[in-house]
Amino acid sequence: MSATQKSAKELLERLIGFDTTSDKSNLALVDFVRSYLSELGVECTVLADETSEKAALYATIGPNQEGGVVLSAHSDVVPTEGQPWSSNPYQMRSDGGRLYGRGSTDMKGFLATVLAEVPAFVAAGLKRPVHIALSYDEEVGCLGVRPLSQHMKTRVALPEAVIVGEPTGLAPVNAHKSAYRLETEIHGRSAHSSVPSWGVNAVFYAAHLVTEIERLGERLAAQKVSDPRFEPPYPTVSVGEISGGTAHNIVPDHCRVVWGMRGMPDTDVPALVEEIRAYCDTQLVAKMRVVDEACVINTQIAASILPLKPRGGSSAEALISTLTGIAEMGAVSYGTDAGFFDDIGWPSVVCGPGDIAQAHKPDEFIAEDALDQCTAMLGRLGAHLSA
Ligand SMILES: [Zn+2]
């Protein structure tokens, strides 16, 4: 090995050592990747966010021509607070063929194998490029991939495939659900609880809303299954938080409901949100305003992760089938950065080393074998792009 050539295992140890929990800066990790690639003669573009605490990065190896492949990873990890780890989560521990540490599976293991393969990509004389795309804040709503994909869209030639290396056990996935965070604010009117009719009880109206959301969920569960690969194979809703009121003898004038929806790739979630808004306006606000004209209910889409839509027979599906030897495409219910690359018209699949069952857990690990298999897949990719 040359001075700059490192194994995936060595690189994973370095990457795990950066605590890139989503609420912390990822700049030290990004700087490490930038200088590693720079030593190999690969120039990077670093895109800082508005706080200058986070940055995304992308790099192109080979000529910037159509038909390249984007290898996409996120730099952030989920918190370890409250989890019973057997050792320091930010210090890689190797034991019995497993490499333990936060992010080992989700998804620094993939990033480590990609970085370890860069010297081979550089030496291969690629005819079509490999692009490395590294985002931030994936775990808190795929925030980093939005500016990153928009920036790359106008500067990177249309790729044959985007491979998002989330842990799928190196099985190809061509579809995932969307995820929406919704916040509803209910503004009623305060009164002494001895004469409730002088007020508009925001918590009572929140209860009506919650029941309507539950009814929507039941309706969605009963609709025709469009893709039986999903678990469950229909859109889902959930109410996660309710807050309102201050005391038993005050009619509460405010209540806040935080809820969520996960859509199938073909679900028009904003249209369903519009139905809930219409219910609030016609069924609830109309009654509230009999007492006070100022009463209002507002529902906002606070965050959204786009779905990965299956594009039967796309160039990305064909390529990942060739690389993995697996023709069948899977579907997953968790969100990834892939939906945002799909949205800019780049054929995208999810396929990476490790088991999603390890992700976000204490004593997260990845098997060394899984890294070796990913390295072999990237070797086949290098040969494909050099041919
Ligand atoms: Zn992930």
pLDDT tens figures, 24-57: 999 999 999 999 999 999 999 999 999 999 999 9
pLDDT tens figures, 356-380: 999 999 999 999 999 999 999 999 9
Residue 360 CA, ligand 1 centroid: distance in Å: 9
Distance CA 331, CA 320 (A): 14
Distance CA 135, CA 73 (A): 6
Residue 64 CA, ligand 1 centroid: distance in Å: 27
Question: Is the confidence at residue 283, as pLDDT, over 60?
Answer: yes
The CATH 3.40.630.10 portion of the chain extends over 8-176+307-386
Is the domain spanning 178-305 CATH 3.30.420.130? The answer is no
pLDDT tens figures, 179-197: 999 999 999 999 999 999 9
Distance CA 274, CA 269 (A): 9
pLDDT tens figures, 44-95: 999 999 999 999 999 999 999 999 999 999 999 999 999 999 999 999 999 9
Residue 340 CA, ligand 1 centroid: distance in Å: 14
Q: Identify the band that residue 198 occupies on the pLDDT scale cut at 50, 70 and 90.
A: very high
Q: Identify the band that residue 108 occupies on the pLDDT scale cut at 50, 70 and 90.
A: very high
- Say if residue 228 is preceded by a cis peptide, omega within 30 of 0: no
8-176+307-386 maps to which CATH number?
Answer: 3.40.630.10
Average pLDDT, the chain: 96
Question: Is the confidence at residue 246, as pLDDT, over 80?
Answer: yes
Residue 285 CA, ligand 1 centroid: distance in Å: 41
pLDDT tens figures, 10-27: 999 999 999 999 999 999
Q: What is the pLDDT, as a whole number, of residue 4?
A: 55
The CATH 3.30.70.360 portion of the chain extends over 178-305
